[in-house]
Chain A
Amino acid sequence: MISELQSDYIKELFNVGMGAAASELSELINDEVFMSVPSFQLINWQQLTNTLGYQPNEAVTMVYVSMDGQLKGRGILIYPTTASLELAHRLSEDFSPLDDLTELEEEALSEISGIIINNIISTICKQLNVNAHTSLPICERGRWDSIAEKAIDIDTSHKIMFIGMYFSIKHKDLKGELLFLQDGETINELLTHTTNALKKMGVE
């Protein structure tokens, strides 16, 4: 369904997008941020649940951005709550020593996640020469089973681009999960665009 070249290119796009996100975040915090995408898979909903491996009652933080236009779908960042706290703490000194995020901290996390997702989307759009507009990032927090329903409320036949995410901020390594949910049609379109771009690059 997807060739090695396509898969490799999409992953590279994600990497560049992450790089751009890292640059933007580093400006925000005035410190070096390192981000990379170590892997990329195209899977279905069942495989996703298995891969993510969250317990139904596990505390999870999710931020998602909805896309429309030539690329439709949803970009979702999932963090285990502790990681989200960690991320937020790294990026702002102002974070409280509480066990949970306050509203303002939640907003900050949304901003950060939005920057990441948007940069990726922008990169993809630019390279593939497509247009997509995005919504504001929305943060959902709570148990995995209830959140999963809310955020990933799509037809389970949809395909999911599942990307691991690795970042290193102020000497702390963190990991999160990035998903892009698209319906089959959108994926195919995406792949077509990819092939075109590759052709243009002279890479077959």
Chain B
Amino acid sequence: MTRILIVDDSLTMRLYISTIAKQVRIDSDIILCASAEEAIPYIDEAFDYYSLDYTLPGMSGIELANKILHRHTIAKIVMVTGNKQEAVRSRCDAIKIAMIVKPDIEEPLITFFSEEKLT
């Protein structure tokens, strides 16, 4: 059972990303959160894949990523963002997570979810 956590404030994106995820990981248990705050209760649980939106209301995606990494140091996180500015990229690089720029997310996401699971 693959566990995937998807955080994005857009309903469409949540559904879209989970569709892509299911394509790759058919047997997956996917948790969808509309904000970082909604995801906090899941912090202690270990997920196989995390897909986080950068631009979130409230706590940002990067901050959430930091929190997750704090708990699970080798978590597989991808930052999905519409903002391809250098600043965002460098932030993702700093914590060593991948970045995918909207709107062409399908291919990169497939690659991401295809990576070997942790366990």
Of listed B12, B55, B57, B85, residue having the most chain A CB within 10 A: B12
Give A4 to B34 CA distance when docked, in angstroms: 14
Chain A residues closer than 8 Å to B84, beta-carbon distance: 19-20, 23
Interface range on chain B (Cβ under 8 Å from partner): 10 to 19
Known interface pairs A202-B16, A202-B19, A203-B16. Does A19 touch B11 (Cβ–Cβ under 8 Å)?
Answer: no
Please provide the chain B residues from 65 to 119 with a CB less than 8 Å away from any CB of chain A in the complex.
81-87, 102-103
24 A-B interface contacts by CB (under 8 A): A5-B11, A9-B10, A11-B10, A12-B13, A15-B10, A15-B55, A16-B82, A16-B102, A17-B82, A19-B55, A19-B83, A22-B83, A22-B85, A26-B87, A32-B85, A33-B85, A34-B83, A36-B55, A38-B57, A123-B103, A127-B103, A202-B15, A202-B20, A203-B12
Task: Using CB atoms and an 8 Å cutoff, list the residues of chain A in contact with chain B.
Answer: 4-5, 8-9, 11-13, 15-20, 22-23, 26, 32-34, 36, 38, 123, 126-127, 198, 201-203
Smallest Cβ distance from B43 to chain A, in angstroms?
Answer: 25
- Contact partner of A32 (CB less than 8 A), chosen from B11, B12, B13, B87, is B87
Q: Classify the interface of chain A: helix, strand, loop or mixed.
A: helix
CA distance in complex: A28, B88 (Å): 17
A18 to B109 alpha-carbon distance, docked (Å): 22
Shortest B25–chain A CB gap in Å is 15
Which residues of the other chain, A, contact B15 by a CB distance below 8 angstroms? 5, 201-203
Complex alpha-carbon distance, A34 and B81, angstroms: 12
Encoded as 1 (CB less than 8 Å from any A CB) or 0, chain B from 10 to 38 comes to 11110110011000000000000000000
Q: How many A-B residue pairs have CB under 8 A?
A: 61
6 closest cross-chain pairs (CB), A and B: A19-B82, A16-B82, A12-B10, A202-B19, A9-B12, A8-B11
- Contact check, A23 vs B85: say whether CB atoms are below 8 A apart: yes
Which B residues are within 8 Å of any A CB, using their own CB? 10-13, 15-16, 19-20, 55, 57, 81-87, 102-103
Which residues on A sit within 8 Å (CB–CB) of B83?
Answer: 19, 22-23, 34
- Determine how close the nearest CB of chain B comes to the CB of A132; give it in whole angstroms: 17
Contact A19 B81 (CB under 8 A): yes
Smallest distance from the beta carbon of B108 to chain A beta carbons, Å? Answer: 15
Instruction: Given A16-B102, A18-B82, A33-B85, output 4 extra A-B contacts at Cβ < 8 Å.
Output: A9-B10, A34-B83, A202-B19, A202-B20
Q: Which residue of chain B has its CB nearest to the CB of A18? A: B82
- A127: B residues at CB distance < 8 A: 103
Flag if A8 contacts B19 (CB, 8 Å): no
Chain A residues near B16 (CB-CB < 8 A): 201-203
Instruction: Please determine whether B12 and A198 come into contact, CB atoms closer than 8 angstroms.
Output: yes
Residues on B with beta carbons closer than 8 Å to the beta carbon of A32: 85, 87
State the CA gap A17–B83 with chains docked (Å): 9
